């Protein structure tokens, strides 16, 4: 029996299945109708009407012990202790009544000195497989310590229990979905959403609160390391859809992880044991490592498959543009296991600029690094959140605002301290639009973006000559091997230079408006756009 506050999930009644092998979880998911097998062996599951995260339905228990540490607002919305208790009671009653419960117990954090023990209790076998894939199994190659598992955080996932109209009125919410998290109790309650990403992001949120108190900077980034140089570590910051997973899956480099990491005293380490990649318009030629990782033991979410052949159609976004695949990190050939490495030489900020005016690559001064990190500009891409059907300009502090319980200035200072101490180069890479805004222009070619990343990581781009962008002040290289010079300066890609400048000034003013939300030094403010 697992005690959680005054409420218990009784794991002794019905059938509780703890840390089942992946093959058995797949078998149970198929038998219960939770999913189907694709021709490549992946388990294909649908998540109902929630095909992305539900940030407007996420709440944090407000208690005296944590109140002053939290960045309250639209990201961190409070729920009272009384309402949290009620949500917990609803979830536990539901989970106690189901005939089968699936429990995963493992770790978040590949550095054995800085990790959390995670327990996931769910009514769906495929959610348990998702947790097993995304977190670190005790005793696996990713966990060579041999230490016994310890319990820190619990997720109670009552995906099929939605709030009634009366309960919604009592809670003061307007949705049958509720995700409630308590930092003091180390507990997450999920009601009404089958989208598995809520499991993943709840623990990332937990790490983002807990790790700074251990001297670890938590980061929404992917990371890799050169095959021939263990000191050549790179970080890729960015929100969903900006290319973290795609650009860090490189045959010439070993993957550390694709989404969530810590930067601690000994270097970088993965928070997870798996990858959660977008697969809309995935192709074998464009992203061979991800393509080949989709096999038995992986989970495809909301992906259309042919009724007869069961072949996935990755170009079909009729269910959602946010189609996803989950697979263990060791499905990527040569991945670093355990997922730990040294301090990074290069830090890359990824943005998908829907205005079509930012350069595809630029080098940042330390002050620019702080300015663009704390603003965290990108575009929300279709499907990554409920209700987002086309790209929208979006400022997300630290490139991870939805997952940051603490104030952005705390995370920005941690990054600044580490960049200075370890002398890392910082870059802004635009994987968004060029030649015009969304709807008129087109996205940068992946081949060009990869060439820019290669030049960053092999050190040649840092030795190039640079020109300052007249509006944003960003330092744009004059040459990048494998990239036409006309691509590097966005104004040259537009048919009308006057329209370009008007659009660029529009985005620059958005930056200046957004910066007012934060406290920044005069030097950092001066590093922003020139308007």
Q: Which residue has the higher pLDDT, 286 or 494?
A: 494
Q: What is the pLDDT of residue 1?
A: 37
Q: Among 244, 261, 345, 406, which one carries the catalytic annotation?
A: 244
CATH number for the domain including 149?
3.40.449.10
Q: Among 101, 220, 363, 418, which one carries the catalytic annotation?
A: 220
Residue located via tokens 């092999």: 458
Domain with 392, as residue range(s), is: 345-526
**Residues 381, 445 share a domain:** yes
Residues 6 or more apart from 393 whose CB is under 8 A from it?
A: 354, 355, 377, 379, 507, 510
**Residues 405, 291 share a domain:** no
Q: Using CA atoms, how far apart are residues 249 and 270, in angstroms rounded to an integer?
A: 14
Q: Is 53 a catalytic residue?
A: yes
Residue 289 resides in a domain: yes
Which of 281, 299, 331 is where one domain is finished? 331
410-457: pLDDT as tens digits = 999 999 999 999 999 999 999 999 999 988 999 999 999 999 999 999
Q: Which residue has the higher pLDDT, 243 or 505?
A: 505
Q: How many CB atoms lie within 10 A of CB 222?
A: 28
Give me the percent of the chain exceeding a pLDDT of 90.
Answer: 88
Q: Among 143, 259, 330, 469, which one carries the catalytic annotation?
A: 259
Q: Among 54, 154, 193, 240, which one carries the catalytic annotation?
A: 240
**Residues 80, 48 share a domain:** yes
Q: Using CA atoms, how far apart are residues 323 and 301, in angstroms rounded to an integer?
A: 6
Beta strands in 303-422 (DSSP E): 324-328, 340-341, 346-351, 361-364, 377-380, 392-395
Residue 469 resides in a domain: yes
Q: Among 28, 50, 53, 261, which one carries the catalytic annotation?
A: 53
Q: Is 245 a catalytic residue?
A: yes
Q: Is 240 a catalytic residue?
A: yes
Q: Among 51, 193, 245, 323, which one carries the catalytic annotation?
A: 245
Which of 279, 299, 331 is where one domain is finished? 331
For residue 478, give both structure tokens.
């004059």
Q: Is 530 a catalytic residue?
A: no
**For residues 271 and 207, is the Cβ–Cβ distance under 8 A?**
yes
Q: Is 220 a catalytic residue?
A: yes
Q: Which residue has the higher pLDDT, 7 or 430?
A: 430
**For residues 314 and 323, is the Cβ–Cβ distance under 8 A?**
yes
- pLDDT surpasses 70 at 185: yes
Q: Using CA atoms, how far apart are residues 107 and 3, in angstroms rounded to an integer?
A: 19
**Residues 96, 156 share a domain:** yes
110-127: pLDDT as tens digits = 999 999 999 999 999 999
**Residues 352, 291 share a domain:** no
Q: What is the pLDDT of residue 519?
A: 87
Beta strands in 184-309 (DSSP E): 187-191, 217-226, 229-237, 253-257, 260-264, 267-270, 274-278, 299-301
CATH number for the domain including 379?
3.90.228.20
The answer to pTM > 0.75 is yes
Confidence of residue 384 (pLDDT cuts 50, 70, 90): low
Confidence of residue 531 (pLDDT cuts 50, 70, 90): confident
**Residues 100, 192 share a domain:** yes
- pLDDT surpasses 50 at 6: no
Q: What are phi and psi of 300, to 5 degrees?
A: -100, 130
Q: What are all long-range contacts of 438-442, with beta carbons under 8 Å and residues at least 24 apart?
A: 438/354, 438/355, 438/356, 438/379, 438/390, 438/391, 440/356, 441/356, 441/493, 441/494
The number of distinct structural domains making up the chain is: 2
Q: Is 259 a catalytic residue?
A: yes
Confidence of residue 158 (pLDDT cuts 50, 70, 90): very high
Q: Among 28, 278, 324, 380, which one carries the catalytic annotation?
A: 324
Q: Among 50, 58, 201, 363, which one carries the catalytic annotation?
A: 201
**Residues 389, 277 share a domain:** no
As a whole number, the mean pLDDT across the chain is 94
């Amino acid at each position: 029996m697992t005690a959680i506050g005054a409420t218990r999930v009784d794991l002794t009644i019905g059938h509780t299945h703890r840390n089942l092998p992946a093959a058995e979880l797949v078998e149970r998911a198929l038998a219960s109708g939770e999913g189907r097998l694709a021709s490549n062996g992946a388990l294909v599951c649908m998540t109902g009407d929630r095909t992305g995260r539900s940030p407007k339905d996420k709440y944090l228990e407000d208690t005296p012990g944590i109140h002053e540490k939290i960045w309250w607002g639209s990201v961190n919305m409070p729920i009272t202790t009384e309402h949290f208790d009620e949500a917990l009671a609803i979830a536990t009653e539901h989970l106690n009544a189901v005939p089968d419960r699936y429990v995963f117990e493992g770790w978040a954090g590949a550095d054995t000195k800085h990790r959390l023990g995670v327990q996931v209790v769910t009514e769906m076998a495929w959610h348990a497989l998702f947790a097993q894939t995304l977190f670190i199994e005790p005793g696996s190659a990713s966990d060579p310590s041999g230490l016994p598992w310890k319990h820190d955080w619990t997720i109670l996932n009552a995906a099929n229990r939605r709030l009634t109209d009366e309960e919604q009125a009592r809670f003061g919410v307007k949705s049958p979905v509720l995700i409630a998290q308590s930092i003091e109790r180390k507990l997450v309650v999920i009601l009404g959403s089958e989208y598995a990403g809520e499991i993943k992001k709840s623990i990332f949120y937990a790490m983002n609160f807990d790790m700074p108190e251990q001297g670890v900077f938590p980061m929404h980034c992917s990371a890799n390391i050169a095959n021939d140089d263990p000191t050549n570590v790179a970080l890729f910051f960015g929100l969903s859809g900006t290319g973290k997973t795609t650009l860090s899956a490189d045959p010439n480099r070993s993957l550390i992880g694709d989404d969530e990491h810590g930067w601690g005293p000994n270097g970088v380490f993965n928070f997870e044991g798996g990858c959660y990649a977008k697969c809309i318009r995935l192709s074998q030629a464009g992203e061979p490592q991800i393509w080949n990782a989709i096999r038995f033991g992986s989970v495809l979410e909301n992906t259309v498959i042919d009724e007869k052949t069961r072949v996935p159609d990755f170009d079909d976004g009729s269910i959602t543009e946010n189609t996803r695949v989950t697979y263990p990190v060791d499905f990527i050939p040569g991945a670093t296991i355990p997922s730990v490495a040294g301090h990074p030489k290069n830090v890359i900020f990824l943005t998908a600029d829907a205005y079509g005016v930012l350069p595809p690559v630029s080098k940042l001064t330390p002050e620019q690094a702080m300015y663009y990190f704390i603003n965290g500009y990108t575009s929300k891409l279709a499907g990554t959140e409920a209700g987002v059907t086309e790209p929208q300009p979006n400022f997300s502090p630290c490139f991870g605002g939805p997952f940051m319980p603490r104030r952005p200035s705390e995370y920005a200072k941690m990054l600044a301290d580490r960049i200075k101490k370890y002398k890392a180069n910082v870059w802004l890479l635009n994987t968004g639009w060029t030649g015009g805004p969304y709807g008129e222009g087109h996205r940068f070619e992946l081949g060009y973006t990869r060439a820019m990343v290669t030049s960053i990581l092999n050190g040649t781009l840092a030795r190039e000559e640079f020109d300052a962008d007249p509006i944003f002040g960003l330092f744009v290289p004059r040459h990048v091997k494998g990239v036409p010079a006309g691509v590097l300066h966005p104004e040259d890609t537009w048919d009308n230079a006057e329209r370009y400048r008007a659009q660029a000034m529009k985005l620059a003013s958005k930056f200046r408006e957004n910066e007012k939300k934060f406290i920044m030094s005069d030097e950092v403010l001066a590093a922003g756009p020139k308007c």
